[in-house]
Amino acid sequence: MSENEVNSAIASSWLDEPLSEEKNIEMSLLLTVLDEHFGYSFRYYSKNSLARSFARACSKFGLEHMSDLIPILLHQPRRLDEVIDAITVNYTQLYREPKSWLSFAQSILPRLYSYPSLNIWIAGCSTGEEIYSLMILLDEHNLLGRSNITATDINPWVLETAASGVLSQSLNQKDRDAYQQSGGKENLDDYFVGGRELITPLKRSLESVTFKVHDLCQGPPMEGMHLVLCRNVLIYFTREKQKQVVMDLENSLVPLGYCCLGQKERFMQHQGGLKPLVETQGWYKRFR
């Protein structure tokens, strides 16, 4: 697929088909409750993506209409976590998009040795598989010890899982294959006890990871980062918001710092100083 074809495929995925007037009203009421009552602003999410998320939440609760979620939120606020879980898409896996990890191992990691310490931000880290994937590769290249990792997500409940060091699902062959394709040097099983829990040395390193609730749409961005991973998050935002968040990611980097975006987020036009590294899959460098 040429770059132009990819660009237009992505552009068309951003085009929202119009929602009915009733659905628009329901969505707007629901967004108001989430924002004004709970401080979760989903106003910058593409409407179609939100409609899909709310439909998922409705089916989880056995409800017919989006607006039926409102009384649950207002009168059973303890169920907020279930609603947020249904709205935010938490799908993740170890070594997701292996080609991008391979680029990291081959092209980015060797350029990081010159830094005495590394500030790394994983934005939208979900349940932690991305953090563990990164930690293992950093460890294999003797860079984990000098890395200060901050992992953020809008959803506080996924952060709890991420901090536990336990995989959401036991290791499977797909994980093992993805690790090998990502340039992993060892046996992935050796990093997990019982196929699920990080081994003690990695768990100790996980204790020094800073976990923070952070909303990419409302910032402020982190600062002084050498490396930022923000993958498969921007895709849910409106196009305008995507542009602004990419600017924020750029500003969070030190000059010559690196940023990685997800496979479907890569070809966004960007006027700033963040430029794609042609020899890599999904990696950008801040050039000014």
Ligand X SMILES: C[S@@+](CC[C@H](N)C(=O)[O-])C[C@H]1O[C@@H](n2cnc3c(N)ncnc32)[C@H](O)[C@@H]1O
Residues that bind ligand X (CB under 6 A): 88-92, 96, 124-126, 130, 153-155, 158, 214-217, 231-233, 262
Q: Which is nearer to ligand X, 135 or 154 (CB)?
A: 154
The nearest distance, CB 168 to ligand X, in angstroms, is: 11
Q: Which is nearer to ligand X, 199 or 213 (CB)?
A: 213
Q: Which is nearer to ligand X, 232 or 281 (CB)?
A: 232
Q: Which is nearer to ligand X, 130 or 139 (CB)?
A: 130
- Contact predicate 191/202, CB 8 Å: yes
The nearest distance, CB 187 to ligand X, in angstroms, is: 22
Nearest to 92 by CA among 62, 55, 131: 131
Task: Note the helical H segments in the chain.
Answer: 3-14, 21-32, 38, 47-61, 69-75, 80-87, 98-103, 129-140, 156-164, 173-181, 200-207, 239-252
Number of neighbouring beta carbons within 10 Å of residue 15:
9
The nearest distance, CB 41 to ligand X, in angstroms, is: 8
Q: Which is nearer to ligand X, 231 or 285 (CB)?
A: 231
Angle between helices 47-61 and 80-87 (to 10 degrees): 130
The nearest distance, CB 260 to ligand X, in angstroms, is: 9
Please provide the DSSP assignment of 247-271 as one string: HHHHHHEEEEEEEEE-GGGTT----
The nearest distance, CB 34 to ligand X, in angstroms, is: 12
- Which residue is associated with the tokens 């990291």? 104
Exposed/middle/buried for 39, CB within 10 Å: 0-12, 13-18, 19+?
exposed
Whole-number Å distance between alpha carbons of 135 and 125: 13
Q: Which is nearer to ligand X, 8 or 152 (CB)?
A: 152
The nearest distance, CB 85 to ligand X, in angstroms, is: 8
